[in-house]
Amino acid sequence: MNYCENILETIGNTPLVKLHRVSAGLPCPVYAKVEFFNPGNSIKDRMAVRMVEEAEKRGLLKPGGTIIEGTSGNTGMGLALAAIVKGYKCIFTTTDKQSKEKVDILKAVGAEVIVCPTNVLPEDPKSYYSVSRRLATEIPNSFYVNQYDNLANRDAHYEQTGPEIWEQTDGKITHLVVATGTGGTITGTGKFLKEKNPAIQVWAIDSYGSLLKKFFDTGELDMNEVHPYITEGIGEDFVPQNYDMSVIDHFEKVTDKDGAVMARRISKEEGIFVGYSAGSAMAGLLQLKSKLKPTDLVVVVFHDHGSRYVGKVYNDQWMMERGFLDVKTVKDVVNSRRNLPLVTIAPEEKVHDAIAKMKKFDIEHLPVLQNGQIIGAISEGGLFSKLIDQPELKEASVQSVMHRAFPVVAMDTPIEKLAVYINKENGAVLTQDDTGAHHIVTKYDIIQALGN
C-alpha cells in the first residue's frame, strides 16, 4: 500500500508550473512554485511543522500543551494541522485586516482566534504580537512559536524549499522571487540556492507601508515608512530575526492595487487560483523586467490559495470600493448622461403616443409607469413586428401590447455583467439611484461605454 501515515507527511514536494500569459512580456521563462498544494494550502505548512518539531526536541512543547502564535492566517493553519496530529491546543492572534475566510478556517480546524487592531505599533499592548506574547506567559504549559524570530522558520526552507527548486530546475535557476514578510522563506530558500550557485539573484517583494525595503537599502529602521496597507501576509513594521539580508540582492515595492489585480490575472489567465501575495510577487517581477535577459530562468513563489481571499481580492465590490478595478458600472453610464430624467409612458396611453415619444426623444425603449411603479415596457423592435401585421394597433392602448418590465440591477453592477440581462428579447435594464429615481441602460449605452 502507498499511503501517508498522517496529513503532515503530505507537506512539500509542491509542483513547479511554467507560466505563459502573465509572464508574456518578460524575456525569459518563468516558473511558479505553487505552494497551495500543501495540505494547509500555503507554504507556511513547511515551517509551522518544523517549528513545532524543534520545540518538541528542546522540551519547549510538552504533551497536552497549547501552541500560541500571532499569525496572518497561513502559519496558524500549518500549526493547527500539526496540533491536530500531535494532540496540542492552539490559540492564535491575528489582525483585523486579515480576510474573514482566514479566521473562519482557523476556527474550523479547532483553533481559538483573537482578532487585534492592525494600526498599532508592535510593542503596543493591543497588537497581535504583544497579545500572543502575554498569553504565553499567562497560560500554563504553553509555547509561544514566534515565527518572526524562530530560526526553525528559515531552516525549514533551507532544508526543503531550496533543494526542491534546485532539483526541479536541474540547477538552472537564475532568479528567485519571493513576496516576503517574516523572512523565513526568502532567507532559507535563498541561502541554499546561493550555496549551490552564488550567481543566483534573490529578489524580495515588499509592500508600500512596510519598512523592510528601506532597511535593506540603508540599514535604517525608519518608522516614517510604516503606514497601513491592505496587502496580506507580506511586509513588516519591524525586522524579524529570520532575515539575513546578505542573502537578498534586491527589494522591490508593489502597491496594494497591483498585487490584487495581478492575483486575479493569474487566476483567470493561468488557471492557478492564487492568494494576494502571489499577485504581489508576480507584479514585482514584472516591474523588474529590465533586469532580465533571455538566458535567465525565474522561479516565483506562489505562497497560498485564492480561497483565503474570496471576500476581498476576488470580490468585485471590495475591489471597486478601493479603486482597484478599472471597470465601468451602471452608475458610470447614468452619470455620463448627466442624470437625464427617465422617459416613460402610462398604460392607458395609445401606441401612437408611444411612437411619438420614441421619435421625439430618439429612444427605442419606454418603461410603462403606473402610480409610480414600473409595470411593463414597450420597445421599438417589438412594436415594429406587431404593426407590420396589424397596423390598427396604433390606436390600441399601451397596456395591450406591452411586454414584461425591464430587469432592475444595482447601480454598482459592472457593465460586462449586463450581458446576462440584455439579449434579443430584452433590450434594456433599469436601475435606481439613492433618491429612488429610475434610469434606463440600453444595448447602445453599453456599446458606447465599452468603446470609450
The tens digit of pLDDT for each residue in 39-74 reads 999 999 999 999 999 999 999 999 999 999 988 789
Q: What local confidence, expressed as pLDDT, does residue 93 receive? A: 94
Q: Are 430 and 440 in contact (CB under 8 A)?
A: yes
Above 90 in pLDDT, residue 391? no
Cell of 326: 478599472
Q: What local confidence, expressed as pLDDT, does residue 450 receive? A: 67
Above 80 in pLDDT, residue 408? yes
Q: pLDDT tens digits for 277-313?
A: 999 999 999 999 999 999 999 999 999 999 999 999 9
Which helix (H) or strand (E) element contains residue 187? helix 184-196
Q: What is the mean pLDDT of residues 246-270?
A: 97
Q: How far apart are CA 434 and CA 334, in angstroms?
A: 12
- Percent of the chain clearing pLDDT 90 (strictly above): 70
Q: What local confidence, expressed as pLDDT, does residue 432 receive? A: 87
Which helix (H) or strand (E) element contains residue 76? helix 74-86
Cα–Cα distance list, 231 to 10, 97, 210, 336 (Å): 28, 9, 10, 33
Above 70 in pLDDT, residue 339? no
Orientation of helix 380-389 relative to helix 351-361, angle to 10°: 140
- Percent of the chain clearing pLDDT 70 (strictly above): 99
Q: What is the mean pLDDT of residues 5-9?
A: 97
Q: pLDDT tens digits for 17-35?
A: 999 999 999 999 999 999 9
φ, ψ (nearest 5 deg) of residue 112: -90, 130
Q: What local confidence, expressed as pLDDT, does residue 29 receive? A: 98
Q: How far apart are CA 417 and CA 399, in angstroms?
A: 30
**Average pLDDT in the chain:** 92
How would you list the strands of the sheet with 142-144, edge to edge?
112-116, 89-95, 66-70, 142-144
Q: Where are the alpha helices (DSSP H) in 304-403?
A: 316-321, 330-336, 351-361, 380-389, 398-401
pTM for the whole structure: 0.77
Orientation of helix 256-270 relative to helix 276-287, angle to 10°: 100
Q: 18, 33, 44, 62: which is the annotated catalytic residue?
A: 44
Amino acid letter at 172?
A: K
Above 80 in pLDDT, residue 211? yes
44 is catalytic: yes
112: nearest Cα among 149, 55, 71 = 71
Length of the chain: 452
Q: Are 84 and 109 in contact (CB under 8 A)?
A: yes
168: nearest Cα among 309, 344, 33 = 33
Give the model's confidence band at 383: pLDDT under 50 very low, under 70 low, under 90 confident, else very high: confident
Cα–Cα distance list, 378 to 24, 365, 370, 382, 425 (Å): 49, 6, 14, 7, 12
Give the model's confidence band at 234: pLDDT under 50 very low, under 70 low, under 90 confident, else very high: very high
> In 3-state terms, what secondary structure has residue 409?
strand
Q: How far apart are CA 155 and CA 153, in angstroms?
A: 5
Q: How far apart are CA 155 and CA 10, in angstroms?
A: 19
Above 80 in pLDDT, residue 337? no
250: nearest Cα among 225, 285, 294, 209 = 285
Cα–Cα distance list, 263 to 108, 256, 319 (Å): 25, 11, 12
Q: pLDDT tens digits for 184-203?
A: 999 999 999 999 999 999 99
Residue found by looking up cell 412594436 in the block: 383
Give the model's confidence band at 119: pLDDT under 50 very low, under 70 low, under 90 confident, else very high: confident
Q: Are 221 and 230 in contact (CB under 8 A)?
A: no
| Helices (runs of H) and strands (runs of E) counted in the chain | 16, 15
Q: What local confidence, expressed as pLDDT, does residue 295 receive? A: 98
Contacts (Cβ under 8 Å, ≥6 apart) of 405:
367, 368, 374, 375, 376, 377, 430
Q: How far apart are CA 13 and CA 3, in angstroms?
A: 15
Q: What is the mean pLDDT of residues 437-444?
A: 86
Q: What is the mean pLDDT of residues 111-133?
A: 90
Q: What local confidence, expressed as pLDDT, does residue 54 receive? A: 97
Q: What is the mean pLDDT of residues 411-438?
A: 83
Q: What is the mean pLDDT of residues 415-419?
A: 81
Above 90 in pLDDT, residue 161? yes
Q: What is the mean pLDDT of residues 159-163?
A: 98
Q: What local confidence, expressed as pLDDT, does residue 442 receive? A: 86
Q: What is the mean pLDDT of residues 131-139?
A: 94
189: nearest Cα among 177, 205, 206, 207 = 177
Long-range contacts from 134-142, C-beta under 8 angstroms, 24+ separation: 135/68, 135/91, 135/93, 136/68, 139/66, 139/68, 139/91, 141/62, 141/64, 141/65, 141/66, 142/65, 142/66, 142/67, 142/68, 142/91
